[in-house]
Amino acid sequence: MNCLTNFLFLFLFILTSLFSIGQTPDSTNNTATFSGSVGLTNNGFSIIPSFSLNSPAIVSTLSFRKKRFSFDPDIRVALDAKNGGFLWWFRYKLIDKKKFGFRVGTHPAFTLIKRQDTENGKTTEITEMLRFIAFEAVPSYQFNDHFGVSAVYLQGNALQKTGPQQTRVLFLNTAFTNIGLNKNLYLNVFPSVFFLNTDGYQGSYLTATVAVGHKKSSFSLQSTINQTFTSNLPGNQDFMWNVTLNYNFKRFLNKTTNL
């Protein structure tokens, strides 16, 4: 697993080095964009915030977008690389208006989990990889430059007989973005409620992310909380939180861009 950790750090370093330099091209000639963030957190949350790695983690959300298509890798891995997840999103905007949008997407996912394995009377902790296939449907409406709402229906299905077999979740999201605290500081707030069903176990939750950044800096600081309303999921935690330091970048790619 040390090799996987080293590969992950190298992969993220190369991507951010390639695409975070020279971010001021003429947007009229843009054919694609590459953007994302790479963060270090004290507690890695899943894309479903009721699940957590319960350990410090590297979190990276990337997006390569061309017209209505995008490829969006989502990587969340503990520092020892013994648990975490790799999602490879393929998304398409069916409707892409100024205010209203509707997106669909699918991804294969690979999840690393720790479990106990007993052989010849000896029990050891091993890391197992679980595989899933999932899809999403996302309508959204942007009221103005600072406020928008969206809903996300996400369903994941296992590709093996062990572990959770089917997970369905509905998110109801709001987004307050680019709120000016002063001339340079900005605030983003993302409250959400969601309803989760995993193999018949159910839960309802409140989650919220708050991020603060400086207009002249690529770094931002964010914190996420997750509060359980009701849940009968095994091992559910009533309240979780984390703090993440992010490095954010965006690069416009055009016909003359040389990578």
**In this structure, is residue 63 part of a structural domain?**
yes
- What was the pLDDT predicted at 252? 87
Nearest to 28 by CA among 242, 216, 254: 254
Is 19 within the bounds of a domain?
yes
The verdict on residue 257 lying in a domain is: no
Name, in order, each residue with C-beta under 8 angstroms of 200's C-beta and a sequence gap of 6 or more: none
Q: Is 30 exposed, middle or buried (0-12, 13-18, 19+ CB in 10 A)?
A: middle
DSSP 8-state symbol, 105: E
In a domain, 198, yes or no: yes
pLDDT tens figures, 197-245: 999 999 999 999 999 999 999 999 999 999 999 999 999 999 999 999 9
What total of structural domains would you count in the chain?
Answer: 1
How would you class 143 by CB atoms within 10 Å of its CB: exposed for 0-12, middle for 13-18, buried for 19 or more? exposed
Q: Is residue 37 part of a domain?
A: yes
Q: Which residues does residue 188 pair with via DSSP β-bridges, in sequence order?
A: 211
The token pair that represents 6 in the structure block = 């080293």
Mean confidence (pLDDT) of the chain? 87
Residue 259 lies in a domain: no
Across the chain, the runs of DSSP E, i.e. the strands, are 30-41, 57-66, 69-78, 84-96, 100-119, 122-142, 147-158, 166-180, 185-198, 201-214, 219-231, 239-254
Q: Would 258 be classed as within a structural domain?
A: no
Closest by CA to 142, choosing from 176, 191, 91, 190, is 176
Task: Please state whether the predicted TM-score (pTM) of the whole model is above 0.75.
Answer: yes
Q: Check residues 165 and 4 and name the one with the higher pLDDT.
A: 165
Match 């957590």 to its residue by tokens: 52
Domain of 137, CATH number, reads 2.40.160.40
Percent share of the chain, pLDDT over 70: 86
Q: Which of 97-101, 146-150, 172-176, 249-253 has the lowest mean pLDDT?
A: 249-253
**Which residue segment(s) compose the domain that 228 sits in?**
2-252
Q: Is 212 within the bounds of a domain?
A: yes
For residue 12, give the H/E element and its range: helix 2-19
- Predicted confidence at residue 30, as pLDDT, reads 54
